Structure formats: C-alpha cells, structure tokens
Amino acid sequence: MDDAEWARLVTSGKLSKGEKLVAVDHSTINYPPFRKNFYIEVAELTKLSDVERAELRKEMDGIKVRGKSIPAPIRAWTQAGMSSRLLDVLKKRGFDRPLPIQAQALPIIMSGRDCIGIAKTGSGKTMAFVLPMMRHIKDQPPLQQGDGPVALVIAPTRELVAQIAKEAKAFGKPLGLNALAVFGGSGVANQISELKRGVEIVACTPGRMIDLLVTSNGKITNLRRVTYLVLDEADRMFDMGFEPQITRIVQNIRPDRQTVMFSATFPRQVEVLARKILNDPVEIQVGGRSVVNENITQFVEIRPEKERFHRLLEILGEWYERGKLLIFVDKQESCDNLFRDLLRYGYPCLSLHGGKDQSDRESTIADFKGAVCNILVATSIAARGLDVKDLVLVVNYDVPNHHEDYVHRVGRTGRAGAKGTAITFIGPDEERYAPDLVKALRESGAAVPQDLQALADSFHTKHKAGLVKAHGSGYGGSGFKFDTNEEERFRVDKKAKAKAMGLEVEGEEDAEEAALDAAVAALEAVRWDLH
C-alpha cells in the first residue's frame, strides 16, 4: 500500500481517520515510574575545579553552557557510562573520542537532564542524543503487544529522518533495539506493519506521525510509552510551519519525559518556545550560533549567470579526482538543466530534488554515498540530513537566499573533523544576498573579498535610501515569509485547504506542488460525490 492508496482508503471510509490528535489529560493516567539518571562522574572529572572545567570547555571548541549543576565534559567514551557493546560499536566505526558537542551533551543527557544543544553542522550532534537514548531504553521493560515507542525523534525532512533512523539502527541492533523511519512519500504499509509489531525508536516527520496516530482510532501506534523525546533541527521545523503539529504531539507525551532539542541554529523565538516544553534545561553552545565550521575553506566569486557554467567546468576539472562534489541550485528546473548540461560535457552526475519520488531520492543518495557517481546536483532539500564521507567540495551555483541556508549548504562538507571547501557564485544583480555572505564569512573568521564587500555596501546604501527592501533573514521561527504575489498566496491557500481536509503537507520545495494538487483534487472530488 502506497501513500495514494492509503489516502484513497481513508477518504472512502475503509480506514478511519480522526479529525485531529486530541490532547491527553495526563492527570487521569497512572504512568509507571522510569529512571533517567544513569551518569556517575569519574573521579578524574569530579576533582576538576570550576576554573579547570571552564578551561576544558574552552579547549573543546569553546563550549559554552548555561544552567545549574552542569557536569564537566568527558574526555573519552569510557567516561560516559555506556555499555561495552556500545563501546565496541564506536570502536568498530572508528570513533576514537567524543567530539565537543558529544563530550558535553552526553554527561548532561545521561544525567536525565533536559537539554538544548546548539552546534554547527557536521559537529556530531546526532550521536549526542542517540547514544544516551540506548541506555535510557534498555533500562525499561521490554515492549508488550500494543505498546508504542519508548524514544521519539521528530525532524523536519525525510532525508534527516532517514539519517537519524540509520544511526539509531547501527547502535540499537547490537542491543536488540529496533528503529523505524516514519515519513511521507514512501510506502506506508511497511511503516504501519513495523509500528504494530513494535519498535523502541521512531524517527519521524511531524505530519506523518500525526497521520498514523489518528488513523484507525489510534490502533496503529500510540505515545504512552514515550519517555525520551528529541526535536532535531527545531528551528527549521518551526520555520516550516510545523509548530502546531509539534505541540499536538508533545501534548500527547507524558509530562515527566526527558526532552532534548538539537539544532545548528537557534533563533530567539524558538528558544522562548523551547522553554515551554523543556523542564529546567541545560543549554550547550558549540562554535557560536549559526557559524560555518572552521574546517571549511570558503570562497565567494562575483559571477553573472552567463559565466557560471564555464567557471563550474574549470572547478570540476580541478576537483573531480579529489572526492565527492555537491552542487547546489535554487530550483528543480535549474537542477535538471544543469544535470543534463554536465552529462553533455562528459561529467557523470546525479540529481536530487523534491520532484523525484522517495525511492528515487533514496537510491540517488545511496549511489552518491557509495561513490557510484561523485557529482550530485541538488536543491536545498539535500542540505538537511545529508551526511556523506569524502565530500570535499560544495559549490553554490545559485547563491543561497539567506544566512542560515548558506551555513547549512556549505556544512555538508568539512564534517566530523574533515577538511572541506565551499565556492559560492553571486551575481552583480544579486546584491541583496551579499550582506548575509559577508556576515557568514566574518563570523567564521574567513576573509571577505573586496568585490563582495563592495556589493554588500552598495545594497546597504540603497536600503538606507529606501530604494530597496531587505529580504527575509531566514529561519525566524514563525513560518516562511512568502512574497505577497498572487502565485505564492495561491500556494499558501492550497496548503491550508489540504490541511483542512486532513492532509498533512510536508516539504519545503515547489516539488510538492504536483502531489498537493492531486491530493486536494481527489478529496474534493470524493466530497462532491458524497454530497
């Protein structure tokens, strides 16, 4: 059963689907107690003075912490209190020592504390919440028939959900724990089957999770056993408009749960909201807010659109033999066109955008990771959750339209301590994006080219004179700031109509349009027939 068949069964009444996920009155439920704190600080760390702890954090990429009674960062995996089987997996996978975010987050989360983690891309934050999750789950009774998951991870995109589930499976399998990725665009039958059979860990997108919770009167799965909740890339989820869905899901989870939130950026609005769902959290910040990894060498070139392809060929001639290359464009059409042009010039490549179905996207990512092909042309849908070894170069063929998008795009390289390079093209007529590029370069300690600074200065001068308007600053936490043209208003209205009909619309790209049109039309046709 695919998504279309599932939607057909729901609309025909053969599968029942509730109107919405109703908030649970937790005062009426007698939840069994569970243990959160598994951490015992080793003597080597306990004896450190406050000054020595501060110095240790400074050495570890300048870790900043805020909160009460915060344990010192660990220096070795053996200090975290993990089982020998987990330590064996870490050793086999070549993880010699914790990265900074892991070094500080592990003792905090293993202590049972709620946590807000802010770390730049490629910092290893997924393992920072997956490893404590394993210890947390193993301390609890095994799943019984009808039980839902013990750990729930919510993330904004399919690719990121798949990546988290893969990581959870790698560490969970030796412990006898099962993990499942739950998202739209892939076969729902397998997801339903696995959930009914019982899985300890679910990584999900918000919309699909709610769909499964309300279908068949909640008989597919439930959240009664969830005691460990993770919100990953929280800024992006709130910006994509998922705040209502996240709130509904959280309201259905026992209030004494442990909650952790991780993100590369953390706008102030999201921070305020986070404190509503976290209990006395410890905040960890590594490498500053929304900063490009220092292992990435950044270049920005002023290039009119007509010059870019020739320059790209020069870059590929220099870099093609060095490793994997990722080229970002801003639209599906541009992605397809550049893909065809590169093939014509003898460069085997892959393309990835939201217009492709989920199985194609998964096979494309697998081929890229497996070095079947070393060049991937993609829209920003790949900027979240794509973690590829030996990715040596990112090219922003089309300039990112805000600061955070730039940080996340270039953050696909230089991951987990490796070196990387990013080259960004910006046109003379795209000066409105220059200030964000200047900001990103300065905050990461990179040199700002004179011509880029001149472009940014020109924009600031025009802005002060009222000749131009500043564009949106990116992930602001309150939904996308759409342009007020008719086409965009129509798109927003269409999404609202789909949600009103009980469809959860996921994805941030124009690629979702075809599926959205079909779904709305199908439901409208069914309702018209019923009348």
* pLDDT value of position 325: 97
Average pLDDT over residues 469-481: 44
Task: Give the separation between CA 255 and CA 278, rounded to whole angstroms.
Answer: 9
More confident residue, 68 or 216: 68
- Checking if the pLDDT of 265 tops 60, the result is yes
Sorting pLDDT into bands at 50, 70 and 90, what band is 195? very high
Of 105, 37, 34, give the one whose Cα is nearest residue 70: 105
CATH number belonging to the domain at 296-464, selected among 1.10.287.620, 3.40.50.300, 3.40.50.1970, 3.20.20.70 = 3.40.50.300
Structure tokens at 38: 């598994």
For 302-312, write each residue's pLDDT tens digit: 999 999 999 99
The mean pLDDT value of the chain amounts to: 84
Return the percent helix, strand and coil in the chain, to nearest 5: 45, 15, 40
CATH 3.40.50.300 residue spans of the chain: 3-11+21-27+34-286, 296-464
Please, how many CA atoms are within 13 Å of residue 93, restricted to the half-sphere of its CB?
Answer: 15
Residue 381: per-residue pLDDT: 64
Which of 220, 185, 260 minimizes the C-alpha distance to 506?
Answer: 185
Lowest average pLDDT, out of 221-230, 235-244, 428-437, goes to 235-244
Q: d(Cα 438, Cα 302) in Å, to the nearest integer?
A: 13
Would you say 252 and 21 are in contact if contact means Cβ atoms under 8 Å apart?
yes
Q: Phi and psi at residue 143, in whole multiples of 5°?
A: -65, 140
End-to-end CA distance of the chain: 28
Segment holding 112, helix H or strand E: none
The predicted structure's pLDDT at residue 267 = 72
Q: What is the pTM of this model?
A: 0.64
Which tens digits make up the pLDDT trace of 375-421? 999 987 655 667 888 999 999 999 998 887 898 899 899 987 889 99
- Residue 371's pLDDT is what? 87
pLDDT at residue number 294: 86
How far is C-alpha 499 from the geometric centre of its chain's CA atoms?
23
**Domain 3-11+21-27+34-286 class in CATH:** alpha beta
Q: Which of 296-305, 454-463, 501-510 has the highest mean pLDDT?
A: 296-305
Number of H helices, E strands in the chain: 20, 14
